[in-house]
Amino acid sequence: MQGCEVSTRLRYRLTLASGMLECLCFAGVVFGFASLMFVLKEDGYFSYLCATVPGTNGTLTITDCSGQDEQFSLVFTITSFLNNFLCLVNGYLFDRFGTLVTRLVAICLYTTGTLLVAFSSAALSELLFPALSCVAVGGILLLLTNMQVANLFAAHRSTVITLYNGAFDSSAAVFFLIKVLHEQGVSLRSSFLVLSSCSIIHLLRTLLLMPRTHIPYPLPQYYTYGLDCGQANTYNLEQFERMRNGGMTESQETSGKDVSQAPEEGTDAQDSKTVESFRSCVLSWFFLWHMMWLSIMQLRHYLFIGTLNPMLNRLADNDPNLVSQYTNAFAMTQLCGVLCAPWNGLLMDRHKGKPLAPGETEQEVDLRSSSLSLFLTSLQCLLFSVCASVPFLPLQYLTFILQVLNRSFLYGGNAAFISMAFPACHFGKLYGLVMSVSAVISLLQYPCFALVKGALGGDPFFMDIALTLVTLLAFIHPVYVYIYCKKVAHHRKDNTQTEVTNGFIMAEAKL
């Protein structure tokens, strides 16, 4: 058993490291769309939408590619929408059928998407719509199945969740790498064929280093998965769970059996107490405010990414070298997402290992620590939105830094908050629902883009100001969580004082 325990710990670490690389290199590549858009323009995608118009003096001509920019914006809008909207289906798929089925679907989608991009061309520009959508949905499925790995490391659960989300954000730099390779003569087709061939790695990891169903939380002793480890997987905890949760008396008859062996993957370690229903979770203020918090900030980020290239062209007076320089700078900052995200997790896990106060629950402490994280994320988004609103090109370096910092805090904090505020059995569905609703809200980016191109004459200043004011609504969520935790603490203190008083009265009565 000791050798098996060592092997299990090694498997945990391999699963963590390989999941990290998977998220970093594949899961969120579509959010490097600004870099890919630069390559696609050079290869002539949607170039038929560019029009040549005469200049003011009648001799010079100007190429107007606003139609091309709008089409690229539509590609990103649909891709980012499906990336989040289908999370509701993805969450149900994960909760209902488990890790193996979900990851097989993800691998199929991802491979299909990369192959479609590889075999697309300027004449088949419309293939970008289904191609990037498949890559996005497959990538978010890979992230969803990887976040449960945090259950293997209870003391650092929020840190691992935020680390994976940070790696998801940093994977946007993959398209920057494709842009650099393209400038060195490597074709877009070759790059995406390499990405497609990496699906073999995802498949091997699914079979060897991931569970068939789910990783439970809290984690049972000697829990294992994947390849068999001696006799560690011989005990059928699925039957035990049915007996425990169903209230069967058969558990009493098997009390003499040895239950010290490691449980099989796929078991649930939740207490036998009544679990809050999915409906009550959705209708709670926690969920509603959290959904608004995510939707507002996500809309701000999506509009910024989708309009980055035309914004840089406008501020750089259409200087392609200067636009390429700032596009590269933006892509390089995306790599820092994996470095920024763990700080949010450490902020949420700072209370781990400390003794609880009398009557205090672990969930209460988790929520109290999350309120600071939610507030800092809202503040970062406000600062990012303010900087993005100022039409000064050098300031955009600071905007890029704040954007990647806020994005890494946003998605990691989103998943971590759902995992600590609601039952684990509803995680996939709740995560999917909040992402789906935020996706519907994110559709506003396209009419916003059209409004800037039309009524605002290409100047997004007033639109940026309006979005900055809307961002202030995100502060409602952390304030509500903080007030809730204060009320719970006050109620617990009153109950403790009442119990002490009653105990003193009873002691005097006995005397």
Distance of CA 451 to the CA centre of its chain: 29
pLDDT at 48 over 60: yes
Residue 57: predicted pLDDT: 56
Tens of pLDDT, residue by residue over 384-424, are 999 999 989 999 999 999 998 998 889 888 888 988 888 87
Residue 260: predicted pLDDT: 39
Q: Exposed/middle/buried for 270, CB within 10 Å: 0-12, 13-18, 19+?
A: middle
Q: Which residue has the tokens 């600004």?
A: 34
% of the chain residues with pLDDT over 70: 83
Q: d(Cα 190, Cα 119) in Å, to the nearest integer? A: 10
- 3-class state of residue 185 by DSSP: coil
Residue 511: predicted pLDDT: 43
Supply angle C-alpha 429, 432, 434, rounded to 5: 110
Give the residue-averaged pLDDT of 34-60.
Answer: 79
Tens of pLDDT, residue by residue over 71-121, are 898 898 889 888 888 888 888 899 889 999 999 999 999 999 999 999 999
Residue 7: predicted pLDDT: 77
Tens of pLDDT, residue by residue over 191-210, are 999 999 999 999 999 999 99
Q: d(Cα 306, Cα 58) in Å, to the nearest integer? A: 34
Give the residue-averaged pLDDT of 365-374.
Answer: 86
pLDDT at 293 over 90: yes
Residue 295: predicted pLDDT: 93
Residue 60: predicted pLDDT: 59
Tens of pLDDT, residue by residue over 111-146, are 999 999 999 999 999 999 999 999 999 999 999 999
Whether a cis peptide bond, with omega within 30° of 0, leads into 391 is no
For the chain, what is the mean pLDDT?
81
Residues 81-100: b if buried by 16+ CB within 10 A, e if exposed? bbbbbbbbebbebbbeebbb
Tens of pLDDT, residue by residue over 149-196, are 988 988 888 888 888 988 888 888 899 899 999 999 999 999 999 999
Distance of CA 431 to the CA centre of its chain: 9
Residue 259: predicted pLDDT: 36
**DSSP conformational letter for 125:** G
Phi, psi of 235 (to 5 degrees): -85, 130
Residue 242: predicted pLDDT: 44
Residue 38: predicted pLDDT: 86
Yes or no: say if 46 and 192 are a contact pair by the CB < 8 Å rule: no
Q: Which of 441, 407, 415, 420 is nearest to 94 (CA)?
A: 415
The top-scoring range by mean pLDDT among 88-92, 100-104, 258-262, 350-354 is: 100-104
Among 213-222, 265-274, 350-359, 444-453, the range scoring the smallest mean pLDDT is: 265-274
Residue 61, beta-bridge partner list: 54
**If phi over 0 gives left and psi between -120 and 50 gives alpha, with beta otherwise, what is residue 318?**
left
Query: What one-character-per-residue DSSP string does 27-79 give?
Result: ITGGGGHHHHHHHHHHTTTTGGG-EEEE-TTSS-EEEE-HHHHHHHHHHHHHH
**And the tokens for 321?**
């070298």
Longest Cα–Cα distance in the chain: 109
**And the tokens for 326?**
């700032």
**DSSP conformational letter for 230:** T
**DSSP conformational letter for 265:** T
Q: d(Cα 401, Cα 406) in Å, to the nearest integer? A: 9
Q: d(Cα 244, Cα 136) in Å, to the nearest integer? A: 40
Q: d(Cα 477, Cα 490) in Å, to the nearest integer? A: 20
pLDDT at 3 over 70: no
Tens of pLDDT, residue by residue over 413-432, are 888 898 888 887 788 889 88
**And the tokens for 411?**
């998605």
- 3-class state of residue 259 by DSSP: coil
